[in-house]
Chains A and B, each alone.
Chain A
Amino acid sequence: MTREAAVTDGAATAVPVRGDSLVEVRDLKVHFPITRGILFDRVVGHVKAVDGVDLTIPRGRTYGLVGESGCGKSTLGRAILRLTRPTSGTVVFDGIELTGLPADRMRAMRRRMQMIFQDPMSSLDPRQNVESILIEGLQAHGIGADRAARRKLITRTLDAVGLPTWALSRYPHEFSGGQRQRIGIARALVLGPDLIVADEPVSALDVSVQAQVINLLDELQEELGLTYLVIAHDLAVVRHISDVVGVMYLGTLVEEAPSDRLYSQPLHPYTRALMSAVPVPDPDVEDRRERILLAGDLPSPANPPTGCRFHTRCPWAQPTRCPDERPELRTIGASRVACHWAERIASGELRRHEVTAQLVRPEDAGDTPGTLATPSEPGSFV
């Protein structure tokens, strides 16, 4: 339906250049300065929210990004759309490098890359009715010849996301959470984008409604050939809708694997721990599975550990290489893993050991985390 918008709009280069990948991210870094001082702000350090990420999103597929809060997954998503300016690195979208694009051309490109936000209540203007929400983007990008043409486009989009036409004259507060998220999806969809970045698209919704939105995203992809980048903390959701899943930890990608492989054969110790921590709604599975409890909290991204960033919490960490040598993403089978010892962990040669928790300060960015003794029994909370 909204495809025609993409075809009629000749401004953007719609020629696929690099085979079947839509987005290519190379060594992307986003560092936020930490400033101190009263009159003059001194830069005292950087929060390395995204610190060297390489990834490729295939056209027409779904790439899932998971990780805990503060791992940089949302910043990465925003940096790809250039909603946050990357510190260095490149993002190539359909053969066009976005990082150096002047503002006006970037704005035109935005029609082809849209975003769906987590909380539809705060991402929709409460004083705009649905029609005005949807028409705003069309006007900004000059899509549709007149009011009637735009109206037609809007009604079709509404229909595609499963909202009735009478919704046009209503305001966001008159809808339920699930319907509001549909409005958010319609707003992204009406411009006929190629890529949709969905940042926690269902986490604000009730369980029974989540499935409706997940199915809707699936259907739209099938129908329109959309490419998704889905960012979420819920592994089950991400695994369900993604073809490829990237796991992030402290600003870097630690593992990237086809979504089936991620659960059956997680290779990175962090992925293993993450997978084992997600509760499964099945008592038999819950009673059987082995839980890998990680010690302590996520270290501060302003002062990430040296070497492998996960080595402070890793139950498989080794005295050599892990603390001083940063692992590169290596291809092992169908996955890419950033772990020095992935093969030897997978073969069972290396065993898990105890880890003592390091105290992590949420606010004090510059503090060195001190190692502290804890009453740790193997497998207990530490």
Chain B
Amino acid sequence: MALLEVEELSVTFRQRGRRTVRAVDGVSFSVDAGEVVGLVGESGCGKSVTSLAIMGLLPRQAGVTVEGRADFDGTDLLRVDRRTMRDIRGRDIAMIFQDPLSSLNPVLPIGRQVTEVLARHRGLSGEAARREAAELLDRVGIPDPTRRLREYPHQLSGGMRQRALIAIAVACRPRLLIADEPTTALDVTIQAQILELLKELVRDSGTALIMITHDLGVVAGMCDTVNVLYAGRVVETARRRPLFTEPRHPYTVGLLNSIPRLDGGRGERLSPIPGSVRDVLPWADGCAFAPRCSRQVPSCVGGPPALVLTHTDRSYRCVNPVPPAAGPATPADSGTAPAPTAGGSAAGETRTTAVPAAREEESA
């Protein structure tokens, strides 16, 4: 059974005098234990709101409606009371945000912020908590951890702050980690360090990871399963390799064709997706991507496109999908290496290598 099963999650923001915004419009996906799942999309596609809804971090006030289910190990996260949610949050599910400076408290030393979690969820205090905190900082690669504990966020560099945030997130060995654009604010060389760190943590502790990003390169290097979001809905789900070798949804293909590749040639013209993310059709009236789609057919308009499930772990929401060979693929892969083995092998191998660590049993 999946660790997290999100079904038909919808989030609506209503405000008087403003247009009602359905930021998330029926998102479904699942995360298995120890799996790295990517939520990919451009700004406004609902990827961050999805994660906030799962974490119960959306404001509980009139005008914000959350519908659907998010089953975490048998508990529906959208229905539990605040008290239970506070227990789950930080202990079972933790989150890493994009901007570490605004998610760390600027007036508290790093140490206090790490020990706070340890005290709340693991009942550690005093010297024991400090020792554990230093160990955590050490584990995420912060040099001279005991001294860092007494320092404030502004005294650390961006990469170190993100490491500190990760240390706080993994302090209770959560079973699910949600990383919302964890490296977007960082430089590439620091991004590489942080991604490597996240990979190691996932591999060593068996934590499942939801990776929210707009960078398909990050997805290609990290995720086992990828969900591509557009205008609040998952438009394509696939294992990592098939998504890149034979994308089926025109939006996925468009995204892949519109990014310049480091290993591409100079001057190759990119094929951008016309229009902007603002040009959407409400899902009720048809496919939201239709106004920008190059494969638009009359049946795109009229009603929401049904989810097409193909063999093994693959689905897309399109009435006129890209034929398997037409993607920006290396055609050799298309016939022989479909879904589960291809995508799973790399990640599966690495996860079972050495150091399964005691922490895995403890948290399970």
Residue positions of A touching B, CB distance < 8 A: 68-69, 176-179, 206-212, 214-215, 218, 233, 235-237, 239-243, 259-260, 263, 273-287, 291, 293-294, 296-298, 356-364, 372-375, 380-382
Contacts and interface: CB of A to CB of B under 8 A. Distances in A.
A281 B220 contact: yes
22 contacts: A177-B276, A178-B276, A208-B272, A209-B272, A209-B273, A263-B262, A274-B189, A279-B191, A279-B215, A280-B220, A280-B221, A281-B220, A282-B244, A283-B220, A293-B189, A293-B192, A356-B143, A357-B143, A361-B155, A361-B157, A375-B138, A381-B197
Given A283-B244, A362-B155, A381-B193, A210 B259 contact: yes
A294 B260 contact: no
B64 interface: no
A233 B241 contact: no
B122 interface: no
Given A208-B254, A361-B155, A381-B141, A176 B278 contact: yes
When A and B form their complex, which 8 residue pairs have the shortest distance between CB atoms, in order from nearest? A279-B217, A211-B272, A240-B260, A277-B192, A211-B258, A281-B216, A68-B187, A208-B273
Contacts of A294: 189, 192-193
B269 A233 contact: no
Nearest to A291: B192
A176 B143 CA distance: 43
A207 B255 contact: yes
Interface string B225-257: 000000000000000110010000000001111
Interface of B: 42-43, 138, 140-141, 143-144, 154-160, 187-193, 195-197, 200, 214-221, 240-241, 244, 254-274, 276-278, 292, 330, 343, 346
Contacts, number: 192
Contacts of A236: 217, 259-262, 264
Contacts of A206: 42-43, 214, 276-277
Nearest to A362: B157
Which residue, B138, B192, B273, has most C-beta atoms of chain A within 10 A?
Answer: B192
Given A236-B261, A263-B263, A280 B217 contact: yes
B188 A274 contact: yes
A242 B260 CA distance: 12
A73 B194 CA distance: 24
Nearest to A179: B276
Contacts of A375: 138, 141
A291 B346 contact: no
Contacts of B261: 236, 240, 280-282
A277 B272 CA distance: 25
B266 A260 contact: yes
Contacts of B156: 362
Contacts of B241: 283-284
Nearest to B144: A372
A53 B131 CA distance: 47
Nearest to A206: B42
Nearest to B345: A287
Contacts of A360: 157
Nearest to B215: A279
Contacts of A241: 260, 266
A214 B260 contact: yes
Given A282-B244, A359-B143, A287 B260 contact: no
Given A280-B217, A281-B220, 15 more contacts: A207-B42, A207-B216, A207-B259, A210-B259, A211-B271, A214-B270, A240-B267, A240-B268, A241-B260, A280-B261, A283-B346, A297-B159, A380-B196, A381-B141, A381-B197
Contacts of B244: 281-283
Which residue, A208, A293, A363, has most C-beta atoms of chain B within 10 A?
Answer: A208
A245 B127 CA distance: 52
B165 to A, nearest CB: 15
A310 B343 CA distance: 38
A69 B217 contact: no
Contact of B266 (A178, A240, A284, A298): A240
B270 A297 contact: no
Contact of B189 (A179, A277, A374): A277
A262 B292 CA distance: 35
B42 to A, nearest CB: 4
Contacts of A373: 143-144
Contacts of A274: 188-189
Given A259-B266, A382-B141, A276 B192 contact: yes
Contacts of A242: 266
Contact of A239 (B219, B220, B262): B262
A287 B344 CA distance: 13
A68 B185 CA distance: 11
A273 to B, nearest CB: 6
A102 B2 CA distance: 70
Which residue, B244, B258, B343, has most C-beta atoms of chain A within 10 A?
Answer: B258
Nearest to B258: A211
A284 B270 CA distance: 21
A293 B270 contact: no
Nearest to A264: B263
A159 to B, nearest CB: 17
Nearest to B254: A208
Nearest to B251: A208
